[in-house]
Amino acid sequence: MRRTLALLGTAILVLLAGQLPAAATPAQSLADVAGCQSDKRPVVLLHGTFKKSGWSWGGLAPELSRNGYCSYTLDYGNGGLNPVADSAAELARYVDQVRASSGWSTVDIVGYSQGGMMPRHYLKFLGGAAKVNALIGIAPSNHGTSQPLAKLLGATFCPACGDQASNSAFIRRLNEGGDLAGSVKYTTITTRYDEVVTPFASQHLSGPANRVTNVVLQDACPANLSEHLYIPHSSATIKWVLNALGRGGVADPRFRPCG
């Protein structure tokens, strides 16, 4: 079964790569950047590799709005293909724009796959730790993936794929000295059925309970069958994100979003 899922994930990635547009859409927002006002910290949403914001956040963005959040989306890195460090530099500029527009000194970030890992480069190396309150990663590639396709694509047209391979120079540097940056708080939301970022436990972060919660969907919802492509759309994931945001960025590990 695991081999079948791995092969399926590889096939899906190849298919997505073949459908990728030549250039990504410029930075855009699901909220009215100039007009959205809220007493809650703004939320920046970041898609994954081979993705764009419209695909990733059709479920979460409306729920954020209904719960009083202003959400801002960034289509970065030519569909997430560019070197991760370059995309992190894009994020640095975008966070400053959101801070200026919203009047908040800090933002919360919710990222999917590469979008859940890439901000950690910004936090650690580009001054982002002073501008970000929390990072919530959905199936984030925090310690890379063991999928061999990552190295193959990294050697061809997707530098970010190579960066996300397990034990790549980028991943080693990112995690050297520990997983956390500054006083930022973290939540990771993962699935045991992830066939893209493998092993799934490599997505978890190490740190004290007052700063880090690692959530496995099936621990809370045993019947949840979400895998890598579906996890950002799962209602359980969306509820976990809202739980984490409502608690300052660190989800309650006792929370049960199903049933």
The span from the CA of 143 to the CA of 159, in Å, is: 16
Residue 26's pLDDT is 34
User: What is the longest distance spanned by two Cα atoms in the chain?
Assistant: 50
- The burial of 178, by beta-carbon neighbours within 10 Å (0-12 exposed, 13-18 middle, 19 or more buried), is given as exposed
* Those residues with Cβ within 8 angstroms of residue 88's Cβ, 6 or more apart along the chain or in another chain: 118, 119, 121, 122, 125, 126
* Those residues with Cβ within 8 angstroms of residue 11's Cβ, 6 or more apart along the chain or in another chain: none
pLDDT in tens, 149-171: 899 899 899 999 999 999 999 99
Residue 34's pLDDT is 56
- The burial of 152, by beta-carbon neighbours within 10 Å (0-12 exposed, 13-18 middle, 19 or more buried), is given as middle
Could you tell me if residue 248 is left (phi over 0), alpha (psi between -120 and 50 degrees) or otherwise beta?
left
CATH topology of domain 2-246: Rossmann fold (3.40.50)
pLDDT in tens, 240-251: 999 999 999 999
Report percent pLDDT > 70 for the chain: 86
Q: What angle do CA 38, 39, 42 make, to 5 degrees?
A: 60
Residue 27's pLDDT is 39
* Those residues with Cβ within 8 angstroms of residue 122's Cβ, 6 or more apart along the chain or in another chain: 88, 89, 91, 92, 95, 128, 132
Mean per-residue pLDDT, 85-108: 97
Residue 259's pLDDT is 60
pLDDT in tens, 199-225: 999 999 999 999 999 999 999 999 999
Residue 24's pLDDT is 33
